Structure 1
Amino acid sequence: MYKNCEFLKIYFLSATRNFSKIKTLRPKRIKTNIDMETKCREDPALFKLDTPEFKNIFSPEVLDLKKLFDKYNYEIRIAGGAVRDLLLRQQAKDLDFATVATPEQMKEMFTAENVRMINMSGEKHGTITPRINDKENFEVTTLRIDMVTDGRHAEVEFTKDWKLDANRRDLTINSMFLGFDGTVYDYFFGYEDLQNRRVAFVGDADVRIKEDYLRIMRYFRFYGRIAEKANNHDQNTLDVIKANVDGLQNVSGERIWMELKKTLQGNFAGDLLKTMLNVGIGQYIGIPNPVLKELDVLLNRSQHLDLHPMSYLAALLENIDDVTVLHARLKFSSYERDMAYFIVEHRGEKEGARPLLPYEKLVLNTKIKQKDAVDYVREVLKYRGSEKLLQQFNSWDIPRFPINGKILKDHGVPPGKMYGPIINRIKDIWIDNEYKQSTADLVKLLPGIIDEHKQK
């Protein structure tokens, strides 16, 4: 059924002799004995897929892409995540393709066929992006080997060997290919791992991680997507990750957050976050002193409430200064950053004449977009496990404050610094009276409020 990949051993032993001819990155990475002894199939063609999900991928643009490659006699297959998703009977979200054609050959082909190419930045790594029928873009990447890496970037050599390309990918479940006739090509037993809900690196986990330290974060993301149990990790894999976590310090915060966010949106988010912290990831992603006790409280009371990723992270932070540190590392969007600040600031107990009143005030008195304030309050209530209040809040129709600057001016309030304090004071009265007062009712209060302000 399988054999040791002797061809890989021969190839990489010879490849190391050629490193001096390549402009090297730091440090050099070569295949280890574990890599060279990795078991692989003699015949990678497993079976033919014939499911509705598979048939759904064949848009006119996909078919036209295939016709182009057939016309020029270049083999092309679907690669990576789409194959994994289709084998799980899920719709393929994004289609990526692999081919034996070099970037230069693809450019010549697309130019001859008047097909526009976009985003040429991926060319040096073998990726060309044609826009088929001026309607859909597809990334098509030449089969390649990562010859030399620095833990994030690689210098590549192109190949026509599908097995060599599969060998340089991160996880076995992401190393499969799919022919347009439905044939599943699996060199490193990714199909079995998928059936067993096992997340494993291709070959030597230590080498795969050192080739690209972001793979540490990808491991946890795919564990959340594939695994059936929260803590069924291979201990050796966790040990290897722990030994390599310092490599994350050289990975951009944006890329780390992209993977971490997806992990926290998936299954076992809280458990995976704790596992990540246990292997030492925290200090390299902006959480050097995580508040684990608060995270446990959050998971016990609120994990079932479809928490936003920022709630999980906020639980690990002691104060808003910690939010600033985390944002500086991960580069959140302004919406995410402000949500983290809001949760940390307002997650404590609040008192009011009615339980919901403090949260209504947060919306009505907000200085940010009211829509965002509504989202943030909703997340705070989920964070606190206040399900009844959350239901009430979701049913609350936000009232419109019936006073504005023009009304103040028309009723004798002099323009200037008085406007803000007077509006705030009259709004507090309106809120405390449960929004029952009309414009006329509130205007009657203006003389007294103006006198109060002048006396101050």
Structure 2
Amino acid sequence: MLTDGIRFLSKNVAYHFSRNLELYSVWRRRLHQAHIFGRVKGKLRTMKIDTPEFRGLFTPELNKLIDLFKKHDYELRIAGGAVRDLLMGKQPHDVDFATTATPNQMKEMFELEGIRTINNKGESHGTITARINDKENFEVTTLRIDVRTDGRHAEVQFTKDWELDANRRDLTINAMYLGLDGTLYDYFQGQEDLLERKVRFVGDPASRIQEDYIRILRYFRFYGRIAKTPNDHEEKTLHAIQENGAGLAGISGERIWLEFKKIVCGNFAGNLIKIMHDVGITQYIGLPEKPNVEEFEEVYNRAHHLDPQPMTYMSALLSKEEEVYQLNKRLKVSNDELKLGAFILQYRGVSMGDNPIRHCQHLFIDNPGKDVKVRALVTELVKYLGDQELVREFSQWSPPPFPVSGYDLVGLGVRKGPRFAKLIHELRQLWKQSDFKMTKEELLEHVDDILK
């Protein structure tokens, strides 16, 4: 294999060196980092697939895209996660494409053929989005290498070498390509790792992580998607994560939350969170110094079948409501997620008594906001507690309309202000305690007593 590797290098040295010295140097360094002469070997493996999922991709719009690239003599292949999904017998939700054409060449080609391009914010990194027949969008990215990285961003340089592009990717299972004729192109044993349900970095884990520290979280996310057992991690991978975990401190909260929410909802989340804490990275993603890992595992085990929201799971790692707001400073969660976390921390320890459905109904009435959002808060709390029957029962309950309106109180001469709001609240409490049976007339009889 060493001889094969030397022949591979020799055949390509003159071409790359003559075209671009910097590109050649980067290429040599990346090949070394990827252990071309070790486990990975950099040896192309190919095979053909022909599955219903693969055939299902070929819409008239995709066929038109393929014909355009063929006509202009540019290579086009499916890349990344869609290849992984197809090999696992899954229909991809999103399909990304890679090509030997540069962004300018793609734009010229699409303009010549009357194809509109949209949302070209990723053009500096090689991505052009074409809209075919005003019906379907296709994201196509030029093959590239990362010339410089700082752990968050990369300066890229375009190439026509598929192996170089594969070599810059994070995990072997994400570094495969699929030709539109069904040919799989696999340089780093991605298919073998996928069959064995192994999650491995392309080459040296530390080098891949240092190029973009978010890859630490991507590793755990894909472990939850791919692995068959909870603790089948390679020691060198966990060591690299532990040594480089502090790099997550420089990653934006939005990017961290995007990955982390998929980890907490994925397989083996309890084990993965424990490992993440053990290797010392939870402190860099907004969690307290001592997250409640045991509570998280309990909630995950009892609620996973109920499909809770990510923030429902995250709440289990927190001990008090203030920690939700500290978490938000780091992760920049949505307002609804923030409210959900605070709601669960406030009510998870409150006993539901002998009538849990009545307790849920009262929570619904007592918390202001749009009905659909308040219902979601209460439902997620019940999921947190793992009560499937109560989730079903509460989902079937339709809250009756509160019979008293503001106009009724104004008609009685009550002016709007603090007393007005207090009156509405007290009347709602009376109505709630009556099991929502008191009429408007009965409630209004209590106005004078409340205002005394």
TM over 0.5, yes or no?
Answer: yes
Report the alpha carbon displacement of residue 388 of structure 1 after superposing the two structures with TM. 4.0
CA separation in 1, counterparts of 2:323 and 2:393?
31
TM-score (norm 1): 0.90
Specify whether residues 202 and 427 from structure 1 end up closer, same or farther in structure 2 by C-alpha distance, changes over 3 A only: same
Q: Identify the residue that residue 113 of structure 1 maps to in structure 2.
A: 113
Indicate if the aligned counterparts of 1:291 and 1:318 stay in contact, CA closer than 8 A.
Answer: yes
Q: Identify the residue that residue 372 of structure 1 maps to in structure 2.
A: 373
Indicate if the aligned counterparts of 2:367 and 2:374 stay in contact, CA closer than 8 A.
Answer: yes
**Cα deviations across residues 373-398 of structure 1 (Å, max 9, x unaligned)?**
11111111121233443333223221
CA separation in 1, counterparts of 2:99 and 2:330?
37
CA separation in 1, counterparts of 2:367 and 2:102?
56
Q: Identify the residue that residue 166 of structure 1 maps to in structure 2.
A: 166
Specify whether residues 49 and 297 from structure 1 end up closer, same or farther in structure 2 by C-alpha distance, changes over 3 A only: closer
Report the alpha carbon displacement of residue 359 of structure 1 after superposing the two structures with TM. 2.2
Report the alpha carbon displacement of residue 215 of structure 1 after superposing the two structures with TM. 0.7
Q: Identify the residue that residue 292 of structure 2 maps to in structure 1.
A: 291
SS in 2 for 1:356: helix
Farther off after superposition, 255-264 or 1-10:
1-10
Unaligned runs of 5+ in 1: none
TM-score (norm 2): 0.91
CA separation in 1, counterparts of 2:5 and 2:256?
33
Residue 338 (structure 2) pairs with residue 340 (structure 1): no
Q: Identify the residue that residue 225 of structure 1 maps to in structure 2.
A: 225
SS in 1 for 2:117: strand
Specify whether residues 33 and 4 from structure 1 end up closer, same or farther in structure 2 by C-alpha distance, changes over 3 A only: farther
**Cα deviations across residues 113-144 of structure 1 (Å, max 9, x unaligned)?**
12222222212211111222222221111111
SS in 1 for 2:106: helix
Query: How many residues were matched structurally?
Result: 444
Alignment of 1:322-333 (within 5 A): 322-333=323-334
Cα RMSD of the aligned pairs, angstroms, is: 2.7
Alignment of 1:27-426 (within 5 A): 32=32, 35-38=35-38, 39-40=40-41, 42-46=43-47, 48-289=48-289, 290-350=291-351, 354-426=355-427
CA separation in 1, counterparts of 2:224 and 2:103?
35
Farther off after superposition, 139-148 or 272-281:
272-281
CA separation in 2, counterparts of 1:8 and 1:232?
35
SS in 2 for 1:130: strand
Report the alpha carbon displacement of residue 365 of structure 1 after superposing the two structures with TM. 2.4
CA separation in 2, counterparts of 1:416 and 1:328?
34
Indicate if the aligned counterparts of 2:126 and 2:142 stay in contact, CA closer than 8 A.
Answer: yes
Report the alpha carbon displacement of residue 305 of structure 1 after superposing the two structures with TM. 3.2
SS in 2 for 1:138: strand
Amino acid at match of 1:409: V
Report the alpha carbon displacement of residue 20 of structure 1 after superposing the two structures with TM. 11
Runs of 4+ in 1 over 4 A off after TM superposition: 1-15, 17-22, 29-34
Amino acid at match of 2:175: S
Unaligned runs of 5+ in 2: none
Report the alpha carbon displacement of residue 301 of structure 1 after superposing the two structures with TM. 3.8
Amino acid at match of 1:274: K
CA separation in 2, counterparts of 1:439 and 1:162?
73
Indicate if the aligned counterparts of 2:43 and 2:188 stay in contact, CA closer than 8 A.
Answer: no
Indicate if the aligned counterparts of 1:241 and 1:279 stay in contact, CA closer than 8 A.
Answer: yes
Indicate if the aligned counterparts of 1:102 and 1:126 stay in contact, CA closer than 8 A.
Answer: yes
Report the alpha carbon displacement of residue 148 of structure 1 after superposing the two structures with TM. 1.4
